[in-house]
Structure 1
Amino acid sequence: MPTLLYRLGRLAYRHRRRVLALWLAVIAAVVGCMLAFGGSGKLDDTFTIPGSESQQALDRMKTDFPAYSGTSAQVVFTAPAGHKVTDPQEQAAIHNAVAAARSAPQVAKVVDPIAAHNVSADGSTAIAQVQYEVKASGLQSDAIPKLKTAVAGADQAGLDVQVGGNAATALKGSDGASDVIGLGIALLVLSLTFGSLVTAGLPLLSALAGVATAIAGVLALAGVTTISSTARSLALMIGLAVGIDYALFIVSRHRAQLAHGADPEESAALAVGTAGSAVVFAGLTVVIAMVGLSVVGIPFLTVMGLSAAGAVLTAVLVATTLLPALLGFAGARLKPRQGSRAMRREQALTRSDGRPANAGERWFRLVTRRPLVTLGLVLAAVGALAWPAHSLRMALPDNGTAPAHSSQRLAYDRISREFGPGYNGPLLVLADTSHSTDPTAATHEIVDSIKALPGVKAVSAPQSDPATHSALIQVVPTGGPADQSTKDLVSAIRGDAATIQQQTGATVGVTGTTAITIDVSAKLNAALVPFALVVVGLSLLLLLLVFRSLVVPLKAAVGFLLSIAATLGAVAGVFQWGHFDQLIGVDKAGPVSSVLPIILLAVLFGLAMDYEVFLVSRIREAYVHKRQPLRAVHDGARYSARVVTAAALIMISVFAAFLRTDSMMLKQIALALAIGVALDAFVIRMTFVPAVLALTRHAAWWLPRRLARLLPDLDIEGERLRRRTESGESAEVTESAEAAEATVHELHPTASR
């Protein structure tokens, strides 16, 4: 691989104009497809599991009870102090608002709260149910705003009117400002790392090209498949972070070689062949992990994984083709000036007087001085952070965690206070009585059996369809949509299904938004441990191939698990326990998103392997040359710690910038990734890893001879390529590159060098 990438880098450098033109054409084509076939207006944030009981019942409702098969909104009317919603003036205002709501776009049915007795015990509040025949993603962009306008007339009578419900749930992605903030911080970090705005701009430019291509591609597919706003934002977040980091690794290697007198073209090719090999490996690990999300069998999670994988794959392609072309345009201008701070840093790396060359090496010497003490401190710190994870409670987000002053949150809180939390997430029970001798009696028997179950607050009068012999029963739990009591109630109804069928001949299915989210969460939780085992096993195999060692993969896997545990504990502490939640715009503690752990496993696995490869490969190289294990750890830090630190800071800043979003799911993912990268880079890779290597010494690089013969030598860091070029034996590589160039010139005689 290093030789192939070396040739590719040289070819892109020499034919930089054609490579740039090709990438611009690709970006234009993908953007054109997005404008023609997709776009953000076709995003769908619906959670479904095809084939699940809740989805099967919902699919049948589209035929039997179409008005209840789509999403719904709740209009909450609250009378002024000293008045009731049943007073003549307030009642008339509510009646007029309900009539106006029926004419709002796409509304299938509106249930008058006074006629349906949806009035609180003290008469202060009433709930009007608004039904749509389409799911939330099928609503027109102005459907909810026009509904709010239609019912706003009740304000004139002094009523407080809030619109909530599933249709009003906001699962927005980033607002654009997050991207700008992340890019600004990344530019600052890159400028401090390179000491040059021109050099700092190259990773940003290449990352933006990759992100533009990936996001336009994701949005183009929105016209033919279901793409969620969270999938788009996750692809943007990860694509931007890895795009900058991958370019940073290659540019930093290129600039270091220029500082030591390398020819710009040769240096660019060698940087792509060496650092680029690690980039390809790291990128492929992220891609494999993200594609692995498809095995869970949940469509929206599959789309999230594939979208992020596409963004990472694009970042790898950009780093190995477009970036060397940009290096060609920059030429020798990237070389640090004599006497500059950047040049002095590069010269310090060649120091042989035994003193540390930089802060990274000083830190590694500190943590390896007493490795057992270091490991004890790391385990204690990680254990303290991971402790809240023991009480981790997971569910999908609802309006209970929406921004405090949003209409849907105000409606949610008012309903919980006046009616009970269960009214925010009622269950729908679909009964098929076609095989019952007396469908009416069977329906009433089903209602009575449900009323007798624990956790039931109210059961509505059933709505029957004589043509299909089915009945729809609304069940209000005592707990909220994410409460354990509601999950237990769903399980209890399903558990009684066999008894109900035996006694009445009827079959029942529990559905509705609450039941669907419970099913999705249950499937995600069930897939978490198997997916974690696959990820850990994959990390062991990949690192065994790369480093040809038993200790290094085991140490990396243990470190990865420590990072995951500490990150989940920190996230639970913030979102579930409420520690420091106000700092990131969270005003109410609640459950952690069920999607987060499995997303965190996939993404952090790839990023952990990223830092592991770039850091430990330098240590391994030093060990192979000098056979001094402790010295190798220090030398590895000398060459890689600064770049890994900059890469981690960039990723943290990009992820943290997305904390401004209103989507609780995306906010939790952003914080988890920011904390996870910080812990994995600074606590695990730059503290735990050197301490383990210092403790195990020569044993860290031992591999049984029989296994060594069986395993291929991947040479990810391009060690053999560097030896060949340094010893002047790269004629074959150069000739191959020139042959490829000659072929290009035969096809395009006007190609410019």
Structure 2
Amino acid sequence: MAALARWCVRHRLLAVLLWLLTLGATATAAALAGSAYSTDYEVPGTESGRATELLARGFPGVVGDGGTIVWHTENGTVRAADVERTMTRTLDEVAELPAVAVVAGPYGEGPAQADRISADGRTAYATVTFDRPVGDLTAADARSVVDTAARAAGDGLRVELGGSAVALTEPRGGLLAETVGVAVAAVVLFLVFGSLAASLLPIATALVSVGTAYAGTVLLGHAMTVADFAPMLGMLIGLGVGIDYALFVVTRHRQGLRRGLPVGKAVEEAVATTGRAVVFAGATVCIALLGMLVLRLGFLDGVAIAASLTVVLTVAASVTLLPALLSWIGPRALGRRERRRLAEQGPEPETGTPPQGLAARWAAFVERHPKKLGVLALAAVTVLALPTLSLHLGTSDQGNNPESATTRQAYDLLAEGFGAGVNGSLTLVGEVHGAADRAALAELAEAVRGTEDVASVSPVTYAPDGDTALLTVVPESAPQSERTSDLVDRLRTEVLPRAEQGTALDLHVGGVTAGYDDFAALIVGKLPLFVGVVVALGCVLLLLAFRSIGIPLKAAAMNVLAVAGAFGVVVAVFQWGWGSDLLGLGRAGPIEPFLPVIMVSVLFGLSMDYQVFLVSRMYEEWLATRDNRRAVRVGLAETSRVINSAAVIMIAVFLAFVLTGDRVIAMFGIALAAAVALDAFVLRTLLVPALMHLLGSANWWLPRSLDRLLPRISIERPRQPVAPGDGRARIPGRRGECRSARAGADA
């Protein structure tokens, strides 16, 4: 690491240019290639996945991406001559647009057309089928449909549009979220450093690395399945950890300058010490993210690799680009007052002084009241985690969008005119092998009509080759309702098995709700394995770093508490709707089924950083003094300020992404912000030190036989010992803090 730092300092212009060229090249390639993200959460091998395969083979026009044009009249009916004339002309214009394949409206003869007009005659809709998947559509393609349809509105006629393609045209606050998050981070950094130059470097480093990663994720989408929210998720994680990692390196560099080190030497020491810790922390985040690969779900594999790519690039920028920039600004990494004090009073002593200030007083307070404070912290986390017990995994849809969105307006008009279930119908699909199967299907349609929570059932439709049959079932409840999920189970376990008896039929239930239910069931089934693998790997890393059984176990427990508390906040805001309208997050609904897996990965990796930062300073003091109380007190006093500053930056960045208007990204932002707040302000600075005071020297116990077997690793480069004879031993410092302790002092 020291050699890398020296190279970056000596060739700082080349190092900066290489990063800028990499950013420019990847951004250009991404712009030329375009995006190829996936919105398909279907899992092959599940029943809903089999239904989709049969539909695609027998009814290629049914499966695909489309939109819905909904119109409603306050006076009269949609069958009025002027309304019919206006909408017929509009639908014909939409059908002529380049990206549109078919438009099916309500006007004409036949039951299919009549079903598109509500019972009161005041609402009607038409379906728009595009000639390509939504992932291949441009915003301009969707915008042309929206603008053409919207021109029909007026004189008491409302026109709204729904569907995944239409959602492409709705404004997203991505740039606003990034700007707000970065601005708050800049303010916090300036307050911490007191230097404008030093506060801008972590932000510049994070922006370059995250920008490169964003473009890389776009390109990755052409090589494998990458979810449509993966780029924004990667940006959210990258900005948070990138600014934090750079904060740690700059903090260590400034300490070196205050001790009188030349700029180049201070940069080298910062990278050789704190840079090693940053690499270790980034590796733990990547390990946690790549743990998603054990689930063997292509949809999540792309998310894991894209997020890991972002973390790798932020770490690389922190130990290459940042050192070059630090050497460029020279002594200006210190504020004017610090430079003046250094010139007048000389360098600070390397040995340092006992911790002072609020952090030291807090550490002493925790030392005096570990039981009371530990119980208080545990109670607070438990209260926040209680809503997790009612966690409902399912699909959120356009009914959860903000009320101002046209997709939400279309959703509500359809629900009011045709029933909530029309927004997410179910499909019964199966292969047909003879007359007996056809007779059974006719009876099945009647049986399904009489099933609880079914609003309507379409007649049996046969594919052109006659080998595949389709029934469309409209539930009485909304797609995200638990009643709809219960209906899916009822059809699969009761209705369809009775219809299949004595026939060759093999029927499958598909549709939005069925697909999400299958996806959720698959993830929940594999979640214990995933959590076990991630926790085990983290415990092994901490065991090697701190030579202790208790430290890894406490870290695992803290991670579980942080995840539980974060999920409690997510359930309260998004599922129960507490404050969701105030935050502009739309109507309450279920939690996305993939959220638990991704959240566990990200939170475990992020919390490991704080764990390593806090405990390694305690471990250093323990090795010097063998006094657990002193080790915990000093470690907490000397690290809590940086932990809290880093946490405030992360929280600001994560919360800013609520402004994107994307429900999934907002869910991640609030969950991560809640988890970091709990981790930094409750767990690491209160519960962990309280427990360590109560456990005493047992914190550092490791069986001798295991100690001999384990390899030894060092998170930071050990210091060279001072010349013999001065009676003092140099101890490697956490985050580059070098402390000396008299041999055997306070033992």
Q: Structure 2 CA distance, aligned partners of 1:258 and 1:632?
A: 26
Q: CA deviation at 1:714?
A: 0.9
3-state DSSP of counterpart to 1:126: strand
* Equivalent residue, structure 1, for 2:744: none
Asked if 2 retains the 8 angstrom alpha-carbon contact of 1:336 and 1:342, the reply is: no
* Equivalent residue, structure 2, for 1:320: 319
* Equivalent residue, structure 1, for 2:239: 240
Asked if 2 retains the 8 angstrom alpha-carbon contact of 1:612 and 1:685, the reply is: yes
3-state DSSP of counterpart to 1:66: coil
* Equivalent residue, structure 2, for 1:34: 30
* Equivalent residue, structure 2, for 1:307: 306
Q: CA deviation at 1:350?
A: 6.1
Q: Structure 2 CA distance, aligned partners of 1:342 and 1:276?
A: 27
* Equivalent residue, structure 2, for 1:446: 444
3-state DSSP of counterpart to 1:585: coil
3-state DSSP of counterpart to 1:78: strand
Q: Structure 2 CA distance, aligned partners of 1:655 and 1:725?
A: 48
Q: Structure 1 CA distance, aligned partners of 2:633 and 2:348?
A: 17
**Given the superposition, is the C-alpha separation of residues 324 and 236 from structure 1 closer, same or farther in structure 2, using an over 3 Å criterion?**
same
Give, as a single letter, the amino acid of the residue that structure 2 aligns with 1:13.
V
Give, as a single letter, the amino acid of the residue that structure 2 aligns with 1:422.
G
3-state DSSP of counterpart to 1:176: helix
Give RMSD over aligned pairs: 2.8
Which one is further off, 230-239 or 18-27?
18-27
Asked if 1 retains the 8 angstrom alpha-carbon contact of 2:437 and 2:504, the reply is: no
Give, as a single letter, the amino acid of the residue that structure 2 aligns with 1:89.
D
Q: How does 1:718-729 map to 2 (within 5 A)?
A: 718=717, 720-721=718-719, 723=721
* Equivalent residue, structure 2, for 1:144: 142
Is 1:484 matched with 2:482?
A: yes
Give, as a single letter, the amino acid of the residue that structure 2 aligns with 1:66.
P
* Equivalent residue, structure 1, for 2:607: 608
* Equivalent residue, structure 2, for 1:437: 435
Asked if 1 retains the 8 angstrom alpha-carbon contact of 2:15 and 2:321, the reply is: yes
Q: Structure 2 CA distance, aligned partners of 1:320 and 1:511?
A: 50
* Equivalent residue, structure 2, for 1:102: 95
3-state DSSP of counterpart to 1:145: helix
* Equivalent residue, structure 1, for 2:733: none
Q: How does 1:327-346 map to 2 (within 5 A)?
A: 327-335=326-334
Give, as a single letter, the amino acid of the residue that structure 2 aligns with 1:90.
V
Q: CA deviation at 1:683?
A: 0.6
* Equivalent residue, structure 2, for 1:130: 128
* Equivalent residue, structure 2, for 1:182: 181
Q: How does 1:456-605 map to 2 (within 5 A)?
A: 456-495=454-493, 496-605=495-604
Q: Structure 2 CA distance, aligned partners of 1:396 and 1:345?
A: 63
Q: CA deviation at 1:371?
A: 0.3
Give, as a single letter, the amino acid of the residue that structure 1 aligns with 2:16.
L
Q: Structure 2 CA distance, aligned partners of 1:451 and 1:306?
A: 46
* Equivalent residue, structure 2, for 1:291: 290
* Equivalent residue, structure 2, for 1:111: 104
Q: CA deviation at 1:112?
A: 2.6
* Equivalent residue, structure 2, for 1:15: 11
| Alignment match of 2:61 (pick from 62, 67, 70) | 67
* Equivalent residue, structure 2, for 1:746: none
Q: CA deviation at 1:541?
A: 1.7
Q: Structure 1 CA distance, aligned partners of 2:233 and 2:349?
A: 39
Asked if 2 retains the 8 angstrom alpha-carbon contact of 1:349 and 1:357, the reply is: no
Q: CA deviation at 1:522?
A: 2.5
Q: Structure 1 CA distance, aligned partners of 2:479 and 2:84?
A: 30
Asked if 1 retains the 8 angstrom alpha-carbon contact of 2:636 and 2:689, the reply is: no
Give, as a single letter, the amino acid of the residue that structure 1 aligns with 2:26.
V
**Given the superposition, is the C-alpha separation of residues 505 and 384 from structure 1 closer, same or farther in structure 2, using an over 3 Å criterion?**
same
Asked if 2 retains the 8 angstrom alpha-carbon contact of 1:439 and 1:469, the reply is: no
Q: Structure 1 CA distance, aligned partners of 2:640 and 2:70?
A: 57
Q: CA deviation at 1:157?
A: 5.8
Q: Structure 1 CA distance, aligned partners of 2:341 and 2:55?
A: 67
Q: TM-score normalized by structure 1?
A: 0.90
Q: Structure 2 CA distance, aligned partners of 1:620 and 1:78?
A: 69
* Equivalent residue, structure 2, for 1:732: none
| Alignment match of 2:162 (pick from 160, 164, 167) | 164
**Given the superposition, is the C-alpha separation of residues 106 and 490 from structure 1 closer, same or farther in structure 2, using an over 3 Å criterion?**
farther
Q: Structure 2 CA distance, aligned partners of 1:18 and 1:411?
A: 55
Q: Structure 2 CA distance, aligned partners of 1:346 and 1:575?
A: 53
* Equivalent residue, structure 1, for 2:50: 56
* Seq. identity, %: 37
Asked if 2 retains the 8 angstrom alpha-carbon contact of 1:215 and 1:232, the reply is: yes
Asked if 1 retains the 8 angstrom alpha-carbon contact of 2:362 and 2:637, the reply is: no
Q: CA deviation at 1:476?
A: 0.4
3-state DSSP of counterpart to 1:721: coil
Asked if 2 retains the 8 angstrom alpha-carbon contact of 1:256 and 1:346, the reply is: no
3-state DSSP of counterpart to 2:139: coil
Asked if 2 retains the 8 angstrom alpha-carbon contact of 1:461 and 1:473, the reply is: yes
Q: Structure 2 CA distance, aligned partners of 1:91 and 1:506?
A: 42
**Given the superposition, is the C-alpha separation of residues 334 and 76 from structure 1 closer, same or farther in structure 2, using an over 3 Å criterion?**
closer
3-state DSSP of counterpart to 1:17: helix
Deviations 1:58-104 (A, max 9, x none): 233233212211023222221223x1223343344444444334334
* Equivalent residue, structure 2, for 1:618: 617
* Equivalent residue, structure 2, for 1:87: 80
Give, as a single letter, the amino acid of the residue that structure 1 aligns with 2:55.
M
Q: CA deviation at 1:340?
A: 6.5
Q: Structure 2 CA distance, aligned partners of 1:13 and 1:632?
A: 35
Q: Structure 2 CA distance, aligned partners of 1:560 and 1:22?
A: 38
Q: CA deviation at 1:686?
A: 0.9
Q: Structure 2 CA distance, aligned partners of 1:360 and 1:391?
A: 38
Asked if 1 retains the 8 angstrom alpha-carbon contact of 2:287 and 2:534, the reply is: no
Q: Structure 1 CA distance, aligned partners of 2:685 and 2:399?
A: 40
Q: Structure 1 CA distance, aligned partners of 2:346 and 2:692?
A: 26
3-state DSSP of counterpart to 1:121: coil
* Equivalent residue, structure 2, for 1:711: 710
Q: CA deviation at 1:133?
A: 5.2
**Given the superposition, is the C-alpha separation of residues 151 and 405 from structure 1 closer, same or farther in structure 2, using an over 3 Å criterion?**
same
3-state DSSP of counterpart to 1:229: coil
Is 1:282 matched with 2:281?
A: yes
Asked if 2 retains the 8 angstrom alpha-carbon contact of 1:195 and 1:342, the reply is: no
**Given the superposition, is the C-alpha separation of residues 341 and 222 from structure 1 closer, same or farther in structure 2, using an over 3 Å criterion?**
farther
> Which runs of no fewer than 5 residues in structure 1 stay unpaired?
730-753
Q: CA deviation at 1:351?
A: 6.3
Q: Structure 2 CA distance, aligned partners of 1:225 and 1:71?
A: 20
> Which runs of no fewer than 5 residues in structure 2 stay unpaired?
108-112, 729-747
Deviations 1:353-404 (A, max 9, x none): x6x4132222222222110001110111111111111111122321011121
Which one is further off, 278-287 or 315-324?
315-324
* Equivalent residue, structure 2, for 1:751: none
Q: Structure 1 CA distance, aligned partners of 2:481 and 2:347?
A: 58
Q: Structure 2 CA distance, aligned partners of 1:663 and 1:150?
A: 25
Deviations 1:607-650 (A, max 9, x none): 10001111111111111112221122222233322211111111
Give, as a single letter, the amino acid of the residue that structure 1 aligns with 2:18.
L
* Equivalent residue, structure 2, for 1:750: none
Q: Structure 2 CA distance, aligned partners of 1:173 and 1:561?
A: 33
Q: Structure 2 CA distance, aligned partners of 1:694 and 1:77?
A: 67
Deviations 1:404-432 (A, max 9, x none): 11111011112222222111100122231
Deviations 1:134-173 (A, max 9, x none): 4322334333333333434543563211111344345986
Which one is further off, 243-252 or 219-228?
219-228
Q: Structure 2 CA distance, aligned partners of 1:278 and 1:119?
A: 64
Q: Structure 2 CA distance, aligned partners of 1:428 and 1:111?
A: 19
Q: Structure 2 CA distance, aligned partners of 1:688 and 1:128?
A: 58
Asked if 1 retains the 8 angstrom alpha-carbon contact of 2:209 and 2:313, the reply is: yes
| Alignment match of 1:120 (pick from 113, 118, 121) | 118
* Equivalent residue, structure 1, for 2:696: 697
Which one is further off, 584-593 or 512-521?
512-521
3-state DSSP of counterpart to 1:142: helix
